[in-house]
Amino acid sequence: ILSEPNHTCLVGGLCGEKKMAGVVRTDVMMVTPWLAPIVWNGAFNIDILNAQFHKRDVRIGLTLFALKKYTVFLKNFIETAEKYFMVGHKVHYYVFTDRPQDIPSLSLAEGRTLNVTEVTSYKRWQDVTMRRMQIISENCLQRFIYEVDYLVCADVDMIFSDHVGVEILSDVFAAIHPGFFQLPRQKFTHERRPESQGFIPKDEGDYYYTGCYFGGTVEEIYKVANFCHNAMMADKAKNIEALWHDESYLNRYFLYYKPTKVLSPEYVWNNYYGSSVYVPSKRFVHVEKDYVRIRSD
């Protein structure tokens, strides 16, 4: 099949003088079995995507939870986000904290705002991470729906180190956990107890998704967060807690309501896993932390 110069060939990748679309990698999966794109470097043309999203004047909300000592991560997170995250688009940072006095004042580019909301904390770190789902779902109904089009929900102990833009946006997206992308499903650390609301049978589970990064339209994120919060509360009533907390409930949700876009581990990397030939760009990376110290009161 031939195409005009400057247009993408339907067969054989690229043609014409100007590169219009993506590189097809043969060493990694680029599309899920339900035909959702898996986002890798080079697979998209950011200029085309930016033009599409600018036309819609899209507004992107980024939810961040910085409770107790985790406020220390906020400065680097926001400063690197200003450099790499959705540059040129409208961004609203929604920071939830129990220590508003510890939130540093940061200068933001035009079209970007930061809002701090005080929330109550929990003694156990597991409750702090799980209750994020409750707060996200409540805020979807109370304000996000009126203020933004898409939500990106991220852990705060992270930094951006390369471009992350509108290529991630879709009705609902999930990110593959960097520790599991080369492993067979039997190795996934899903919740395996049938009595838990996070249960995934051993012969099911498409990918192992990270709990630290997901997003989508406000409508879809409401469904995700509401499901995870209700599942957690149902388990709590039975004195069960899923193995990896909100991450387990999230994986359960995505098994039955598949993401419309999946982010490759470029979009969430952890240097604990060293480097990988499959992941040349590390765009959003976990900050190393002393778990005991940072989680202590």
Q: Which is nearer to ligand UD2, 228 or 279 (CB)?
A: 228
Q: What does the DSSP 8-state code read for residue 98?
A: S
Locate 13 and state its tokens.
Answer: 């990748």
Question: Which member of 82, 167, 247, 266 is catalytic?
Answer: 247
CA 209 to chain centre: 9
Q: Which is nearer to ligand UD2, 41 or 226 (CB)?
A: 226
- DSSP codes joined into one string, 213-271: EEEEEHHHHHHHHHHHHHHHHHHHHTT---TTTHHHHHHHHHHHS--SEEE-GGGSB-G
Rounded to whole angstroms, the Cα distance separating 245 from 252 reads 11
* CA trace torsion 260, 44, 286, 63 (10° rounding): -50
Residues that bind ligand UD2 (CB under 6 A): 65-68, 70, 125, 128-129, 155-157, 211-212, 244-247, 295
Q: Which is nearer to ligand UD2, 125 or 273 (CB)?
A: 125
Q: Which is nearer to ligand UD2, 20 or 106 (CB)?
A: 106
Closest distance of CB 289 from ligand UD2, Å: 7
Closest distance of CB 246 from ligand UD2, Å: 5
Note the maximum CA span of the chain. Answer: 65
Closest distance of CB 285 from ligand UD2, Å: 12
Closest distance of CB 279 from ligand UD2, Å: 18
Rounded to whole angstroms, the Cα distance separating 168 from 60 reads 11
Q: Which is nearer to ligand UD2, 176 or 212 (CB)?
A: 212
Closest distance of CB 121 from ligand UD2, Å: 7
247 is an active site residue: yes
- Tell me which residues are annotated as active site: 247
